[in-house]
Amino acid sequence: MDATIITSASKKDGAAATFKKTFAFHPLAAWCANTQECLAMLLRPGNAGANTVADHLTVLNAALAQIPDASRAKILVRIDGAGATHELLEHLEALNTARRTVRYTVGWKVTDADERAIALLPESVWEDTLNQDGTVNGEAQSPSSPGSTPGQAGPTGCG
């Protein structure tokens, strides 16, 4: 899922001033990486918030509804930093059932404060990361939080 800025040359219905000082639309969309199809899109004005949880939930739920039942057993959702909200991550966790596994990755810009906090983590919390096929990646590690299951991330944990 990601949003984009689509500039407008004139004051079209729904266009608005953006954080980039342009006049535009700011749609939020979800694509299927396997087929490169757009599964869902929410048309928004240019001043729409990048991390508006309601918009992310709307697009996510619409996108999941487009995936055929036979392909819903394992889902990976990728979102940039705009999706780093507790409510969205908790919703993603809640989508897991006995018949469906939902994994997600959310990125954000690592700040100097983040770097300092990471440097304070004790050696004992770091664990090997996994490749997509489940094998151990010997080149990277990730911290796990107390009470977390190794190899499984959650909205309250790092690992």
Listed in sequence order, the DSSP H helices in the chain are 53-66, 86-94, 112-119
- Of 133, 106, 125, the C-alpha closest to 1 is 106
Banded pLDDT at 15 (limits 50, 70, 90)? confident
The pLDDT score that the predictor gives to residue 77 is 95
Residue 135 tokens read as 């094998």
In contact, 147 and 156? CB cutoff 8 Å:
no
Q: How many CB atoms lie within 10 A of CB 1?
A: 22
Asked whether the predicted pLDDT for residue 153 surpasses 60, the reply is no
d(CA 159, CA 135): 16
| First-residue to last-residue Cα distance in the chain | 22
Question: What residue has token string 């809640």?
Answer: 94
- Which run of H or E residues covers position 113? helix 112-119
Tell me the residue ranges of DSSP E strands in the chain: 2-3, 6-7, 16-17, 23-25, 28-32, 37-42, 74-79, 101-106, 126-130, 136-143
pTM: 0.71
Give the type of residue at 85: T
Q: Is 92 helix (H, G, I), strand (E, B) or coil?
A: helix
pLDDT (tens digit per residue) in 35-69: 999 999 999 988 888 889 999 999 999 999 999 98
Asked whether the predicted pLDDT for residue 112 surpasses 70, the reply is yes
The pLDDT score that the predictor gives to residue 88 is 95
Residue 61 tokens read as 């739920």
d(CA 32, CA 76): 10
